[in-house]
């Protein structure tokens, strides 16, 4: 956050007065969790979300608070479209569970399939992707997401094993920019694009992956990148196609991602914003789940009764209040922000 932005930072007391924390159960275990916690704030521009994952430290969580403030306190960029096509998301489930997961994503023509799950093997990935292909038919689009779980040799081997399923792209197959660049050179002849996610949102320099020629497209998330305005700047500077995705947000957080997707000059891929379909409860009714494979653009307002029904305990509320206080202090002090960036470049955080 710049010095000017820090000067316009809402007072901490104002944020805390507007805070509600909810716990939303998932239909299937995803990213190692069964319940998603999120802090929601009613800003002057509308409701917004702060929901970095619980294991993230304050340095990594601070841009998520900047994003919440950007969406709740600042007018959003002009929307160039009124609805967004979205993909289904298939966790690292058994093949027998695939059809049930896909059924939650009405009309979606694209599926993102999680692979390289810790404790699983490539044969399980192949079986899962095969089940998705069988369920979606030849016209369905399949992309896989390894979350940086492979080294270069493992990734090359996996892409060869999964190529028969006509992959749209492979998301973050390896962890580092250098590995992505090497892998992209190895598999370029196969015509399967490489997408970068963590190499953008967890990097001190989100443009490094583009400069290195390490990816064909970017997966961007509004919260980790500090909000819609900063994310748009990153996409413009990178000069690569972008897919807008979510971080298992509530419908409030998804509306932030939809605002970002709606403002992109070009949108060539279905976006990963349909993940409310993975929740069994939400804060609006109906939740922002896909209808005919699309989601409407626009702000949402939580239902008071649902906020109460899914409210976190007093202990969890205090945990989030303290976390917001620490992240607010980081955003308010440019010197602290500089130290965060230095730490990230040294590999200490993020």
* Listed residue (215, 260, 258) closest to 239, CA to CA: 215
Check whether 145 is labelled as a binding-site residue: yes
Residue tagged 């963590």 (tokens) = 198
Q: Which of 112, 114, 188, 202 is catalytic?
A: 114
- CB neighbour list of residue 121: distance below 8 Å, 6 or more residues apart: none
> How many CB atoms are closer than 10 A to CB 165?
18
85, 274 Cβ separation under 8 angstroms: no
Query: What is the four-CA torsion angle of 149, 151, 156, 158, rounded to 10 degrees?
Result: -30
Residue tagged 């993230």 (tokens) = 56
Active site residue 114: yes
Q: Which of 112, 188, 202, 221 is catalytic?
A: 221
Residues forming beta bridges with residue 114, ordered by sequence position: 145
Helix, strand, coil in percent for the chain, rounding step 5: 45, 20, 35
Q: Structure tokens of 141?
A: 């689009």
* Listed residue (275, 302, 251, 276) closest to 19, CA to CA: 302
Active site residue 112: no
Phi, then psi, of 111 in degrees rounded to 5: -130, 135
Q: What is the DSSP letter of 303?
A: -
Residue tagged 């976006």 (tokens) = 271
**How far is Cα 116 from Cα 182, in angstroms, rounded to an integer?**
19
Q: What is the DSSP letter of 77?
A: P
Check whether 197 is labelled as a binding-site residue: yes
**How far is Cα 208 from Cα 181, in angstroms, rounded to an integer?**
11
Residues placed in the known binding site for Mg(2+): 145, 171, 197
Residues classed as catalytic: 114, 221
Residues placed in the known binding site: 145, 171, 197
């Amino acid at each position: 956050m710049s010095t000017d932005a820090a000067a316009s930072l809402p007072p901490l007391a104002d944020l805390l007065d507007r805070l509600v924390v909810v716990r939303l159960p998932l239909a299937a275990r995803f990213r190692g969790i069964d319940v998603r916690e999120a802090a929601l704030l009613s800003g002057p521009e509308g409701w917004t979300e702060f929901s970095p994952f619980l294991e993230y430290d304050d340095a990594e969580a601070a841009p998520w608070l900047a994003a919440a403030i950007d969406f709740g306190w600042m007018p959003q960029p002009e929307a160039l479209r009124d609805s967004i096509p979205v993909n289904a998301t298939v966790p690292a489930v058994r093949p027998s569970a695939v059809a049930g997961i896909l059924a939650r994503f009405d009309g979606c023509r694209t599926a993102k399939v999680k692979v390289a799950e810790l404790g699983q093997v490539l044969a399980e990935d192949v079986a899962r992707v095969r089940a998705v292909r069988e369920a979606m038919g030849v016209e369905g689009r399949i992309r896989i997401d390894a979350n940086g779980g492979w080294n270069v040799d493992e990734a090359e081997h996996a892409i060869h094993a999964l190529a028969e399923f006509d992959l749209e792209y492979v998301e973050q197959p390896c962890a580092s920019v250098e590995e992505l660049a090497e892998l992209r050179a190895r598999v370029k002849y196969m015509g399967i694009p490489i997408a970068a996610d963590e190499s953008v949102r967890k990097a001190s320099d989100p443009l490094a992956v583009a400069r290195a020629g390490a990816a064909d497209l970017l997966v961007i998330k509004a919260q980790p990148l500090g909000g819609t305005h900063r994310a748009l700047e990153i996409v413009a500077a990178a000069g690569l196609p972008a897919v807008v995705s979510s971080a298992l947000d509530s419908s409030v957080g998804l509306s932030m991602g939809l605002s970002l997707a709606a403002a992109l000059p070009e949108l060539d891929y279905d976006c990963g914003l349909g993940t409310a379909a993975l929740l069994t409860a939400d804060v609006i009714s109906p939740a922002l789940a896909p209808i005919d494979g699309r989601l409407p653009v626009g702000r949402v307002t939580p239902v008071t009764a649902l906020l109460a029904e899914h409210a976190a305990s007093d202990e969890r509320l205090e945990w989030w209040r303290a976390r917001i206080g620490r992240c607010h202090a980081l955003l308010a002090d440019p010197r602290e922000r500089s130290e965060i960036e230095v730490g990230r470049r040294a590999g200490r955080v993020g």
